[in-house]
Amino acid sequence: MEQTTPSAIPAVPLTLDGSYILHQMFRIRWPAWKALDAASQRSILAGAETVFAPMERNNQESSALFSLLGHKGDLLLLHFRRTLDQLNQAELSISRAELYDYLEPTGSYVSVVELGLYEASVKIYGELAARGLRPGTGDWNAAVELALAEQRQIAAPRLWPEIPQRRYLCFYPMNKYRGEEKNWYSQSIAERQRMMREHGLIGRHYAGRVTQIISGSIGFDDWEWGVDLFADDPLVFKKLVYEMRFDEASAVYGLFGAFYIALRFPSTRLGNLLEGKTPNFS
């Protein structure tokens, strides 16, 4: 049987994909809201709570509200859903609430939870090549799918996570550099594996202090990945992101979009936000 050469091993790493994610950023139309009488405001808030409360209670397909800091908006809504259809339904349900008339969209981001399998990909590809299988053939694809099925079972909690119950959120999109001299995608899969291993080791130093959810958005949105960091101490975001800037994967190949910092609160505290008060976490 003809042997598969290392150069013929696929360049694309395998991934596991889970929950679909939608970030929605809004600015409150303050003049219009403040022009309402108290009874109208109470009625609109009550209607909004009937929309948000059921979404918050479903841990596996949940939504969460955050108070945004800075000029990029006032309110961030985060939705995790099993399918893109359900994600669309969440967006449409919110748009039908009367409160939506007093919100101005300032941004959004669509992605899907992604676990990159660089280590496993290099191992799996090498084993299949050693068996004489060729990429793209039926036998190769079947063997890859069998390996992925095992990985999905192991990683199920990370593929279908709950939105972490932590006070602070840091969200940002990012790309890998594709310049003329430095191009992430022109590096071999083994070289990218090495860099991502070093990159991941930094994140492990922050285990317990921050929960990280990486989502893929290639083909879904304007950037390639979205990064959500959840913590009870916002300074951990600065320390983690800064430290990661020094590893090769980020220093040479990382490109970052806008950063969003926000405070989580339950829908029952939405009235506080609309009164100009920082809403409590409980």
Active site residues: 172
Burial of 247 from C-beta contacts in 10 A (0-12 / 13-18 / 19+): middle
Angle at 174 between CA 170 and CA 178, to 5 degrees: 165
CB 256 within 8 A of CB 44: no
Q: What is the DSSP string of 3-23?
A: PPPGGGS-SSPPEEEEEEEEE
Angle at 55 between CA 41 and CA 224, to 5 degrees: 110
CB 210 within 8 A of CB 202: no
CA pair distance 223, 174, nearest whole angstrom = 6
Produce one character per residue of 115-147: b if its CB has 16 or more CB atoms within 10 Å, e if not.
bbbbebbbebbeebbeeebeeeeeebeebbeeb
CA pair distance 109, 228, nearest whole angstrom = 12
Tell me the angle at which helices 189-204 and 118-130 cross, rounded to the nearest 10 degrees. 140
